[in-house]
Chains A and B, each alone.
Chain A
Amino acid sequence: DAKTTQPNSMESNEEEPVHLPCNHSTISGTDYIHWYRQLPSQGPEYVIHGLTSNVNNRMASLAIAEDRKSSTLILHRATLRDAAVYYCILNNAGGTSYGKLTFGQGTILTVHP
């Protein structure tokens, strides 16, 4: 599976936008970009995913570079509840391997009041 690179940690202030970057220079054409987050003492939860086009949902937006070698998860207005570890994961849509997630170390997001 192609690998992703994320900063170890980022900080933000409450109610400000947060841009969490992810580099995936070896991404293949059938790799989906998934984002999950893990709140303290909880299991991971799905945030958003995309293939080529930018995506929006109620939790966040995903901006994908035109060459797909990087992407950015955007939290439009950070809240204290958004403090978590954010994982950027590539998942290949081909064959039966789809669904197996490979988690890296993720980015620890700290949100200040």
Chain B
Amino acid sequence: DADVTQTPRNRITKTGKRIMLECSQTKGHDRMYWYRQDPGLGLRLIYYSFDVKDINKGEISDGYSVSRQAQAKFSLSLESAIPNQTALYFCATSGPPWDSHYNEQFFGPGTRLTVL
């Protein structure tokens, strides 16, 4: 089974609708991240969380909100979706400084979101 899962994998919605993208991980990591990727471009950080009580904005947080329901779950919400939020969304996790994989981020398979 995949360590980082995202649901849904694909979603088409209309302008103005509220959308929630969910991320779950079984790696036991405290740190979780949400990125978006636009065609032909690299990933940009939306929000990140270093533990359940810690939520931080990334470089493009406007129009998005997040919820860290538990160590294993980190959800991204679009309160009122707009067409320029059409993108590929990735969730990622990383371990604490004492973890042998501290320097690695583990990414989910992505959610393709289309806003009409």
Q: Check B41 against A100 for contact (C-beta < 8 Å).
A: no
Give the contact stretch, choosing among B69-77, B79-87, B105-113: B105-113
Which of A34, A101, A104, A106 has its CB near the most chain B CB atoms (within 10 A)?
A: A101
CA distance A42 to B103 in the complex (A): 20
Interface majority SS (helix, strand, loop, mixed), chain B: strand
List the A side residues contacting B50 at CB < 8 Å: 96, 99
By size class, the interface of chain B is 20 to 34
Contact B45 A100 (CB under 8 A): yes
B66 touches A (CB below 8 Å): no
- Which of B43, B45, B48, B106 has its CB near the most chain A CB atoms (within 10 A)? B43
Question: In the complex, what residue of chain A is closest to B6 when comparing beta carbons?
Answer: A43
Considering only residues 24-54 of chain B, those with a C-beta below 8 Å from chain A are 31, 33, 35, 40-45, 48, 50
Chain A count of residues within 8 A CB distance of the other chain: 20
Contact A101 B45 (CB under 8 A): yes
For residue A36, which residues in chain B have a CB less than 8 angstroms away from its CB?
105
A44 at the binding interface (Cβ < 8 Å): yes
- In the assembled complex, which residues on chain B have CB atoms less than 8 Å from the CB atom of A32? 103
CB contact under 8 A between A44 and B90, given known A96-B50, A99-B31, A99-B50: yes
Could you tell me if B103 and A102 are in contact, using CB atoms closer than 8 angstroms?
no
